[in-house]
Amino acid sequence: MSVALIGYGEVGRILAEDLRARGVAVSAYDLKLDTPHGQPLREHAAPLGVVLAASAAATVHGATLVISAVTASQAVAVAEAVAPAMAKDAFFLDFNSASPGAKIRAAEIVHAAGGRYVEGAVMTSVPPYRSRVPLLLGGPHAGALKPMLDELGFAPKVHSAELGKASASKMCRSIVIKGLEAMLIESFTTARHHGVEDAVIASLQETFPGLDWEKQASYFFQRVIEHGRRRSEEVREVAVTVREAGLEPFSAAGTAERQAHIADLADAGVFGTRGQPGFARSADWRTESDRLLAALKDTKT
């Protein structure tokens, strides 16, 4: 059995580590390999024995299973790039947080080339669970893929034989989760500016006593600063999903803008240097909030 990973970001690297620990042959490709940012990916892959390919198509040659774990906007493009090079009847597992419509378009491309497309909806953050993250499978080939994923150490559940249902579940969840991230950053940073953060947190704690708001805020700040770009693209796919239901995505659209705004500031170095100590790693959300407020103040002046 061999697995090809398209996308060697945080999720791709975690999957590579777990698959190699099981002795599975792994090949991978990421667009960053062709840029100055590719060296850390090469340094990660080498000791694991992950073979880094020169192109997406070259990565999937002969693979039993292809896993696409890229940004949401590239989900269909990846299917177009690799489907013609896949082995007949090979599985294509779409890990991406894309809309049901995008998943259906990707499936059509893979099926037309003779592959077996399965949508995968990752239902919570990957790092704490790693390859055992709760995963909903969808599409006519979901049942056939599940035993292979079980053997590889995943935690899959067949959600529906109809394409788009698993993705819709993920997208609707993201309206809340990604929205909470954006709202908490907006609320707590505004409260910090006005010096009322302790009162706000005390009130929230009284209303929702089961949540550690200090800890949750620090976690949300970290995740959005580190992964806001990917999250903003996901929430734009969420907005597409909402429109497919006939609703105007007021909440999702605002969330996408806030996530993208934080990503822009992170790229500009407001929260420190990526990969270096101090970058979005504070145990206290106030540190990152103060950085954000300082950057906004500098912009106005």
Residue 73 structure tokens: 């906007």
Return the bridge partners of 92, or none: 66, 117
List, for residues 67-105, the tens digit of each pLDDT value. 999 988 899 999 999 999 999 999 999 999 899 999 999
* Residue-averaged pLDDT of the chain: 94
Residue 271 vs residues 170, 180, 181, 293: alpha-carbon distances, Å: 29, 20, 17, 11
Distance (Å, rounded) from C-alpha 10 to C-alpha 126?
Answer: 9
Residue 47 structure tokens: 């000791």
Phi, psi of 56 (to 5 degrees): -65, -40
Phi, psi of 157 (to 5 degrees): -140, 130
Residue 23 structure tokens: 């002795």
Superfamily for domain range 170-300: N-(1-d-carboxylethyl)-l-norvaline Dehydrogenase; domain 2 (1.10.1040.10)
List, for residues 172-195, the tens digit of each pLDDT value. 999 999 999 999 999 999 999 999
Domain boundaries in the chain? Answer: 2-163, 170-300
Superfamily for domain range 2-163: NAD(P)-binding Rossmann-like Domain (3.40.50.720)
pTM of structure: 0.83
pLDDT of the residue at 177: 94
Confidence band of 106 (pLDDT split at 50, 70, 90): very high
